Structure 1
Amino acid sequence: MNVFNQFREKIQAALQDLAGRQGWPDGLPFDRVTVEPPRDPSHGDIATNAAMLLAKPVGSNPRAIAGPLAEALAALPEVAAAEVAGPGFINLRLAPDVWRAEVSAILATSTAYGNSTLGAGRRVNVEYVSANPTGPLHAAHARGAVFGDALASLLEKAGHAVTREYYINDAGAQVETLARSAHLRYREALGEDIGAIPEGHYPGEYLKEVGQAIAASDGDKWVGRPETEWLEVFRSRAVELMVADIKRDLLDMGIRFDTFSSERALVEVGAVQRALDTLEQRGLVYTGVLEPPKGKVPEDWEPRPQLLFKASEFGDDVDRPLKKSDGSWTYFANDIAYHLDKFLRGSPELIDVLGADHGGYVKRMKAAVTAITGGEGSLDVKLCQLVHLFDGGKPVRMSKRAGTFVTLRDVIDAVGPDVVRFIMLTRRNDQTLDFDYQKVREQSRDNPVFYVQYAHARATSVIRHAGEALPGRDLSDAALAKVPLASLTDPDELGLIKVLAGWPRLVESAAEAHEPHRVAFYLGEVAAAFHGLWNKGKEEARLRFILADDAETTLARLALVRATATVIASGLAVIGVQPVEELRE
């Protein structure tokens, strides 16, 4: 159930009736009417812009429309009051029974509460992490992994058919460097003193494991052989072993992908050439010389005739090169082919979750998707800013295994996957995130993970104690969904219910905006409302959840407690965090 969608339908019906009685023109944009909570809760429960929106097409003053509309809405049994505010906004106060009914709805649908048909089964491909297979995942990758996985779950809850995808960048010079670095470690594993790692190779100790694995399987087969004989073998094996390592770390974070796509495989089957042929047929490829850009010269600029894509025709700043001086494809050309491949596999809506260093890549990639799909595909790029790791305010030391950064494995081992997942969503993806090991272990309100988990644990504790106080009473969700709720009259009880009832709307708005961090923020709001009600009961005995002399009120409050735990569990499921049943104070 979505209270706001229900009232949008009621408002649209009232407008249809009003249009007929007042002779308004046909074709009015009733579907654009918004129904949302007012910014100031003291103004009511629901606000609509209907009169403001329709004033111009109707040819009337907004308040002249708002007056009769508010009168019609006030006559609805679900509406306690309807008021016209400002230039023509309408604020509605709903009858308490409307909100109480949401408690029963939550208990009847369990964690499926908030599921939406908004996506209507539309297919969307969410690509995230996609780290180069040249080293282990690091803390910044964790943020993209969590963001992408939570976004995929959010879109599924909102009714989309989602494909979770990882793109393996296993083509290009960096993978050849990986192969040469692995060959050094292979020789080391066989007892050779390789000395200092040469400049331009990957120095991390993680490659010792790769070298040892190849030595164990192949012995000294590749010692003293020319590079032309072993380079391809080591490239393939090193990528295979590094991807396996990456998959293990992701699985320990609870992150699974539907598809792993290989850049190298796309190139080998001719997908890049086919994509460029498509662009050429549409007159979007030409040979030309780019002007040198102002400021810092990018790597892909060369003062020579090049094969160029007309990116500027689709909103990019300049046209973009598709081939390097050696005749090989640019990374951009490969990426065009990859996005076309995703589109052709049945996903017209594409989402890429990338690191902060890809900011300059967004315009050209969106231009390419529009061009290569003939305008039928869309691309949204979500950039995840850096993560700064601290422990008690001091920067966390870099991993010895990685050599230059803190690995995701280090972070998981330090605080656990659930904490990592929640904290990574406590800031918008485009904001830098400070992650302090010490703070995320604190059991205080300042720790959002603990604060939300504690709310769920408290709710579970209440139900457990109620079972002891009411032996033999059926306290299942199915039974609580049927209890009378008229005794839920305290403003804080109704306030909590209103927060819970906002979950379906939150799911839809966050899914539309591609902003899963809103879920973490919302769960903090639920936890605050529940803890507030708990504390109020400690101060006022009549507001305690379990009243020995009032079974009816007790059951109603237990229904509210279980509804709270259910919505928290539903939100945590989107984030990928397990709700806890018990926490020590």
Structure 2
Amino acid sequence: MNLFTEIRDTVIESLNRMTAAGDLPEGLDLANVAVEPPRDAAHGDMATNAAMVLAKPAGKKPRDIADALAGHLRADDRIASAEVAGPGFLNLRLSDGVWQGVVARVLAEGADFGRAGLGQGRRVNVEYVSANPTGPLHVGHTRGAVFGDALASLLDYAGWEVTREYYINDGGAQVDVLARSVYLRYLEAHGREVEFPDGTYPGAYLKDVGAALKAAVGDAYLDQPEEVWLEKVRDFATDAMMELIRDDLAALGVMMDRFFSEKSLYGTDRIEAAIDALRARGLIYKGVLEPPKGKKPEDWEPREQTLFKSTEHGDDVDRPIMKSDGSWTYFAPDIAYHYDKVERGYDLLIDVFGADHGGYVKRMKAAVSALSDGKVPLDIKLTQLVKLWKNGEPFKMSKRAGTFVTLRDVVDQVGPGVTRFHMLTRKNDAPLDFDFARVLEQSKDNPVFYVQYANARAHSVLRKAGEAQIAADDATLRAADLGGLTHEAELAVMKKLAEWPRLVEIAARTNEPHRIAFYLYELASEFHALWNRGNDDAALRFLQEGDPATSQGKMALVRAVAVVISAGLGILGVEPAEEMR
């Protein structure tokens, strides 16, 4: 149920009647007619731009169309008033019964209130985290993990069939470095003195891996040349790191549907097949690229390479996919990986990358566009950096990781729910400050606390109703008389509840789960405001002594707030708090 869509349908029906009556010409395109909340709530509950967008094609003045449309809309008993403003905007106020009906629908539909059919069962692949398997996840990965997981949940809620996927970067040189680093820890486990050369991974997290390798192979690799142990240690170390990463993700509440290994693309002709698919489309050629713009690197020299004609699909320059020595560039396996996703039959692909991958967006979109003949869109979301603070000072690096703050450092400090919610209090491409003191602060300035406190307050009211022997079960509240919910503070809460389905659709359409966190804060604000009004006005208190019928009507509103907050927190992956101590 999207009330804004329902009122828009009424506007469209009125415009069609105006056309049938000869007040509007035939054939007008009504696609851009919208019904939205007004910029200023004082102007009304909803506003439509119908007269403004139809005036020119209809050859009429906007106010003339708006005046006529207002007359049609006033005949609808849901619309209390329809007033023309400015050059032709039409502001609408709805009857109290409409808003009371929203509460009834929330209670009738429960957790399904707000679920959208936007996806229509189509398939979407959301790839996120995809960190190199060379160490524990750091705080930057944390933001990408939270964003990607919340986006996947949002799309599922909006009717998509979602696959959560992790791309294991285990095919490059970095895993060889990992193997050499683990080998040094293996030697250390045997009592040898070791030094970590520049470029290796000295973090203490590899001590356990080195010890585990010793337990598995004994002294078999001691004093052996690299060609004897490198491949086996690489596989052993990668498996150990992925187990660590899975544990880190689980601590954050993130569970992947699929892990895809880059290594599986090599030696199987899968990269060749993807490049051949591009070649069949006339997009692979031998050529020499222009030097980079700006200062030319000292080691740059013109040389013939195998190139992907990515400029034909929106890129700035064509991209190398094979080096002059015949080896693949790092871009080639990524093309093959996305070709695999296209071949799996997804209708939409979404990649969540760190901010340092901004230069990768156009080439990857070009590849998917080419491989799918433009039929499968790819949306790439970049997550900006997170700055950590504690006691007014930058939070220092993790001793265990050696060079960075880990996901576990954050989760152990504040818990998974707080971590997830706060990571979504800014749009993904905006920098984020994460202050360990502020995210645990019990105040309105802390959105995590403020939303959870609203939910806990709602459940507290329902418990107190039971103590007062007033029935407050869902069946009773669904049958409650809501006609007494007419105060402006109660209406403000109901109007905010009515925005939930529309908000879900907008957030899912734009792939922006942070909108859910923003909405929950606004809903909590309206609910807390109503609660506080009850401190001064006894008639607004949820439990009316000696009047169970009125109490149940008010508790129906309370229950509706809890239902929507729980649904929103569920999308964000945050456990709703029913009590706060």
- Identify the TM-score tier after normalising by the shorter chain: over 0.9
Instruction: Tell whether the 8 Å contact from 2:306 to 2:324 is kept in structure 1 after alignment.
Output: no
Instruction: Tell whether the 8 Å contact from 1:254 to 1:576 is kept in structure 2 after alignment.
Output: yes
Partner Cα distance (1:203, 1:323) in 2: 33
Selected match of 2:476 from 475, 479, 482: 479
* Match of residue 417 from structure 1: 416
What whole-Å deviation, never above 9, does each CA across 1:534-567 have from its counterpart, x for those lacking one?
1110122221111103333211111111111111
Counterparts in 2 of 1:255-266, with a 5 A limit? Answer: 255-266=254-265
Cα shift at 1:299: 12
Q: 1:282 to 1:299 in 2, by over 3 A?
A: farther
Q: Quick check: 1:522 aligned with 2:525?
A: no
What whole-Å deviation, never above 9, does each CA across 1:113-140 have from its counterpart, x for those lacking one?
1101111111111100000001110011
My pick for the range that moved more, 292-301 or 268-277, is: 292-301
Partner Cα distance (2:49, 2:69) in 1: 11
Partner Cα distance (2:116, 2:52) in 1: 28
* Match of residue 236 from structure 2: 237
* Match of residue 58 from structure 1: 58
Cα shift at 1:24: 4.5
Letter in 2 for 1:493: E
Partner Cα distance (2:142, 2:104) in 1: 38
State TM-score, norm by structure 2.
Answer: 0.98
Q: Quick check: 1:498 aligned with 2:495?
A: yes
State TM-score, norm by structure 1.
Answer: 0.97
Q: 1:299 to 1:457 in 2, by over 3 A?
A: farther
Partner Cα distance (1:278, 1:59) in 2: 51
Partner Cα distance (2:29, 2:244) in 1: 54
Partner Cα distance (1:180, 1:235) in 2: 8
Instruction: Tell whether the 8 Å contact from 2:304 to 2:324 is kept in structure 1 after alignment.
Output: no
Give me the identity figure in percent.
Answer: 59
Q: 1:535 to 1:210 in 2, by over 3 A?
A: same
Partner Cα distance (1:486, 1:383) in 2: 47
Q: 1:152 to 1:296 in 2, by over 3 A?
A: farther
Instruction: Tell whether the 8 Å contact from 1:290 to 1:301 is kept in structure 2 after alignment.
Output: no
Selected match of 1:509 from 506, 511, 532: 506
Cα shift at 1:29: 2.1
Query: Across the two proteins, how many residue pairs are aligned to each other?
Result: 581
Instruction: Tell whether the 8 Å contact from 2:451 to 2:521 is kept in structure 1 after alignment.
Output: yes
Q: 1:175 to 1:325 in 2, by over 3 A?
A: farther
* Match of residue 136 from structure 2: 136
Counterparts in 2 of 1:321-332, with a 5 A limit? Answer: 321-332=320-331
Counterparts in 2 of 1:203-214, with a 5 A limit? Answer: 203-214=202-213
Cα shift at 1:60: 2.3
* Match of residue 351 from structure 1: 350
SS in 1 for 2:93: strand
Instruction: Tell whether the 8 Å contact from 1:48 to 1:89 is kept in structure 2 after alignment.
Output: yes
Cα shift at 1:59: 2.6
RMSD: 1.5
Partner Cα distance (2:299, 2:88) in 1: 55
Q: Quick check: 1:270 aligned with 2:269?
A: yes
Letter in 2 for 1:255: V
Counterparts in 2 of 1:14-163, with a 5 A limit? Answer: 14-22=14-22, 24-163=24-163
Partner Cα distance (2:295, 2:361) in 1: 18
SS in 1 for 2:192: coil
Instruction: Tell whether the 8 Å contact from 2:471 to 2:552 is kept in structure 1 after alignment.
Output: no
Cα shift at 1:143: 0.3
What whole-Å deviation, never above 9, does each CA across 1:88-118 have from its counterpart, x for those lacking one?
2211100110000110111111121110111
Counterparts in 2 of 1:156-171, with a 5 A limit? Answer: 156-171=156-171
What whole-Å deviation, never above 9, does each CA across 1:175-205 have from its counterpart, x for those lacking one?
11111111111111122111x2111211111
Partner Cα distance (1:392, 1:486) in 2: 50
Q: Quick check: 1:583 aligned with 2:571?
A: no
Q: Quick check: 1:341 aligned with 2:340?
A: yes
Letter in 2 for 1:556: G
* Match of residue 561 from structure 2: 564
Counterparts in 2 of 1:212-223, with a 5 A limit? Answer: 212-223=211-222
Partner Cα distance (2:484, 2:369) in 1: 57
Partner Cα distance (1:442, 1:298) in 2: 50
Letter in 2 for 1:7: I
Partner Cα distance (1:254, 1:296) in 2: 46
Q: 1:192 to 1:398 in 2, by over 3 A?
A: same
Q: 1:367 to 1:331 in 2, by over 3 A?
A: same
Partner Cα distance (1:86, 1:466) in 2: 48
Partner Cα distance (1:548, 1:521) in 2: 35
Cα shift at 1:225: 1.9
Cα shift at 1:57: 2.7
SS in 2 for 1:193: coil
Instruction: Tell whether the 8 Å contact from 1:210 to 1:238 is kept in structure 2 after alignment.
Output: yes
**Unpaired segments ≥5 residues, structure 2:** none
Instruction: Tell whether the 8 Å contact from 2:569 to 2:576 is kept in structure 1 after alignment.
Output: yes
Letter in 1 for 2:256: F
Letter in 2 for 1:37: P
Partner Cα distance (1:19, 1:66) in 2: 14
What whole-Å deviation, never above 9, does each CA across 1:31-67 have from its counterpart, x for those lacking one?
3321111111111111111222222332322222222
My pick for the range that moved more, 83-92 or 360-369, is: 83-92
**Unpaired segments ≥5 residues, structure 1:** none
Letter in 2 for 1:124: V
Letter in 2 for 1:510: A
Selected match of 1:540 from 528, 537, 540: 537
Partner Cα distance (1:302, 1:455) in 2: 63
Partner Cα distance (1:300, 1:555) in 2: 77
SS in 1 for 2:428: coil
Cα shift at 1:297: 6.2
Q: 1:552 to 1:296 in 2, by over 3 A?
A: farther
* Match of residue 448 from structure 1: 447
Partner Cα distance (2:10, 2:237) in 1: 61
Partner Cα distance (2:87, 2:368) in 1: 43
* Match of residue 390 from structure 1: 389
My pick for the range that moved more, 547-556 or 289-298, is: 289-298
What whole-Å deviation, never above 9, does each CA across 1:504-542 have from its counterpart, x for those lacking one?
000000000110001001110011101111111012222
